[in-house]
Amino acid sequence: MYPIAPPLLGWFYANRRSLPFRDDPTPYHIWVSEIMLQQTRMTAVLPYYERFMKTLPDIPSLAACPMETLHKLWEGLGYYSRVHNLQKAAQAVCENYGGELPGDYNTLLTLPGIGPYTAGAIASISFGLPYPAVDGNVLRVFSRLYCDDGDINDPAVKKRCTGRVMEHQPPDSPGDFNQALMEFGALVCTPRSPDCPRCPLREMCEAYSAGCAEELPKKAPKKERKVQKVTVALVRSPMGVLLEKRPEKGLLAGLWQPYTVEKECTKEEMLALLAGLGLHSRCIAPLSPAKHLFTHIEWQLSGWIFETKDTPPLPENLLWLNGENRDAYALPSAFSAYRSLILQ
């Protein structure tokens, strides 16, 4: 086993970026930042993190936050189930652990949205406990260090990598070691152009010796996304633009969107649906076709702008968005192609 910890930690202490959650690594700060960083880049996360902490500085405030405010704080980050789970976990923490995250890896794992990676990050960085935190960065670095061409999405390969991380992790600085690996993967051993000539682990890196660093890690090709046609009705009335609330479960759960049918639908069919709501409308213009990619689904959006003079009482899942309530509702980025038309 090559001793990677001393040169890696030396590099980390000299090169680590100052980050608000790194500079003040409370369990709450590490938790929220790690959840935000899943699927989102660091530069994009930082302003969200600052705003989130200013509004919700502790776990009790997160537990009590109204859902629409929470959505607004998350607007643009996507994958809203992350913030739903954050709140569910915060409520469980208030109920069972006095409003503070428990300093125990296995208890952390019982909380909604906290998996092995996040539990490992909180346990090691905030509580100094000897646990791994293996994310895509760490898998890439270890695939290269050991010239391991196993598929990193294969649980057996991940397990092998986790074992190697723990063989190297110094018992007196597990949090620094885990952070050093994440930072090293983000800044030096990057996915497409690893900076091998300036790498402090070069002498110990089997992929570098073999000249195959850029070919690793190996990943099985992703399954093709299922294509879903989506028809949007952007309905304008003297009261504003019509929004509807999505169901509380499933894709974009509980978020507000323009009136939408999740299938291909003709203008006449859409006019009939609107008339059924008491909104007799006329078509103004077609919407430009747009596309949005979710993890497993591709939405292909199209539709029309409609105008109506009708403003009947609306059921609970519909409302008019206008100048007065515009800042209260987060619009999912799946509809970003129509955002300016909706907020006009």
Give yes or no for residue 201 binding ligand SF4 (CB under 6 A). Answer: yes
Give yes or no for residue 196 binding ligand SF4 (CB under 6 A). Answer: yes
Give yes or no for residue 208 binding ligand SF4 (CB under 6 A). Answer: yes
Tell which one of 53, 89, 111, 189 touches ligand SF4 (CB under 6 A).
Answer: 189
Which of 273, 269, 280 shows the shortest CA–CA distance to 259? 273
The CA dihedral of 177, 182, 185, 186, to the nearest 10 degrees, is: -140
User: Which listed range, 26-34, 47-55, 202-210, 253-261, lies at the site for ligand SF4 (CB under 6 A)?
Assistant: 202-210
* Bond before 217 cis per omega within 30 degrees: yes
What's the token pair of residue 194?
């690893």
- Widest distance between CA atoms in the chain: 74
Binding to ligand SF4 (CB under 6 A) within 301-320 occurs at none
Side-chain-side CA neighbours of residue 60 (13 Å) = 3
Min dist CB 74 to ligand SF4, Å, is 33
CB 102 within 8 A of CB 108: yes
Q: Is 215 a catalytic residue?
A: no
- Which of residues 196 and 318 has its CB atom nearest to ligand SF4 in the complex? 196
Min dist CB 4 to ligand SF4, Å, is 9
The residue annotated as part of the active site, out of 34, 100, 215, 262, is: 34
- Which of residues 114 and 213 has its CB atom nearest to ligand SF4 in the complex? 213
Give yes or no for residue 213 binding ligand SF4 (CB under 6 A). Answer: yes
Tell which one of 154, 195, 215, 298 touches ligand SF4 (CB under 6 A).
Answer: 195
User: Which listed range, 56-64, 65-73, 171-179, 198-206, lies at the site for ligand SF4 (CB under 6 A)?
Assistant: 198-206
- Which of residues 108 and 182 has its CB atom nearest to ligand SF4 in the complex? 182
- Residue 325 zone, left/alpha/beta (φ > 0; ψ -120 to 50; rest): alpha
Give yes or no for residue 144 binding ligand SF4 (CB under 6 A). Answer: yes
User: Which listed range, 153-161, 192-200, 242-250, 285-293, lies at the site for ligand SF4 (CB under 6 A)?
Assistant: 192-200
Give yes or no for residue 235 binding ligand SF4 (CB under 6 A). Answer: no
Give yes or no for residue 145 binding ligand SF4 (CB under 6 A). Answer: yes
Instruction: In whole angstroms, give the CA distance from residue 235 to residue 271.
Output: 10
Residues acting as catalytic residues: 34
Residues in touch with ligand SF4 (CB under 6 A): 141, 144-145, 188-189, 194-196, 199, 201-202, 205, 207-208, 213
